Amino acid sequence: MIEDSVSTILYAEIIFFLSFSIILLIAYKLKRGGSFIPFLVGGVVYFVFSWLGKFIVNVILNRNGMIGEALAGNYTMVLIIRALISGSTLFLGIIFSFRLIMKQYVDKEAGLVFGLGVGGMQCYLEGMLISLYKVSIVNTINGFCDPATGTPTVSYISSVIAESGAEVTEDTATDMFTYLNEYLTTFKYTFDKSIVIKLAVEIILMFFALVAICIIVYYAIKKRNAKVSLLGLILCISVYLPSLSTDVNSLELSIENVSQYWLNTIILFVLAAAAIYLARNIYKRYASLTETDSIFDLLKVNNNAKSVL
């Protein structure tokens, strides 16, 4: 049986991820004003291009295909391919938006608000929906667990199925019992409280990383700085490497890759911190920056620049 506290945490995550980016947007708009359109465009871009990236990945890694069969079991190569495609498609979506849909915007606020939309949709799709999915799994598993023992039993499973009005046979109850026990044994870390919280932290880190990347790319496009644009692409791909654990396919977390997940979080934190530092400098000094500024120039701290907000 999965602890009730896990369900409480998951419900809290659902509410948090649903409201997080909207609260930030409202707080920012109350201080700065401006249009909500970049926020909406950012959300649509993430939805469309992240879906496109996952579709391409699934086609390439299809186990029935030549590439999928060759890469079966090769976790590192699969991770690299997923990151390359997912990061590249999202980057292309951001570029497309800034060059065409948002070409009339020239102020730095548009890049930040767009980033809030991108990060916000990421919270909805990778945070809220996954938490909802996990809640459904928790409720299903606990529904078949005998409250007296905290574990599934054939007799209790039979009674639950019978109460639902469905036809129950010994084979049905036995198969369900076997499946639940295998799931709880093999994937017990999936619903460990620390892992559930850790995945939420990772999604938040990804949120801030995506907002920062959008600010960086927005500057690169508006100021026509090709080197910074390339850096934005590298960052976009890089943050997808450790953020694989936020994907739906990672819900079944086994003991073999627990250590890898914690390493992913540390790497993502470092990448997010680097992206935020660069984006903060760009945002503060946006008006004075030109296409000739090097990446090293952007990394320099300007104490005379105005506060970010």
Q: Does 109 score more than 60 pLDDT?
A: yes
Mean pLDDT value across residues 154-158: 78
Q: How large is the angle between the packed helices 108-122 and 75-96, nearest 10 degrees?
A: 140
Domain ranges of the chain: 4-143+192-299, 147-186
**Residue ranges of E strands in 148-243:** 151-152
Conformational region of residue 170, where left means phi above 0, alpha means psi within -120 to 50, and beta covers everything else: alpha
For the entire predicted model, the pTM comes to 0.82
Q: Is the pLDDT of residue 193 over 50?
A: yes
Average pLDDT of span 188-200: 75
Average pLDDT in the 234-241 region?
88
- Angstrom CA distances, 213 to 62, 74, 89, 135, 284, stand at 30, 29, 14, 31, 15
Confidence of residue 189 (pLDDT cuts 50, 70, 90): low
**What are the counts of helices (DSSP H) followed by strands (DSSP E) for the chain?**
12, 2
pLDDT of residue 4 exceeding 50, the answer is yes
On the question of pLDDT at 304 being above 60, the answer is: no
| Residue 42 · residue 101 · CB < 8 Å | no
Spatial separation of the C-alpha atoms in residues 267 and 103, rounded to whole Å: 34
Share of residues in the chain with pLDDT > 70 (%) = 78
The percentage of residues in the chain with a pLDDT greater than 90, rounded to a whole number, is: 18
222 touches 106 (CB < 8 A): yes
Q: How confident is the model at residue 66 (pLDDT cuts 50, 70, 90)?
A: low
- Residue 214 pLDDT > 60, yes or no? yes
Which residue would you say has higher pLDDT here, 245 or 243? 243
Query: What is the per-residue DSSP string for 7-18?
Result: HHHHHHHHHHHH
How does residue 130 score in pLDDT terms, banded at 50, 70 and 90?
Answer: confident
H/E/C letters for each residue in 268-296?
HHHHHHHHHHHHHHHHHCHHHCCCCCCHH
Chain segment 47-62, per-residue pLDDT in tens:
999 888 878 877 777 6
Q: What is the arithmetic mean of pLDDT over 163-178? A: 73
Q: Which residue has the higher pLDDT, 292 or 120?
A: 120
Tens-place pLDDT, residues 79-105: 788 888 888 999 999 999 988 888 888
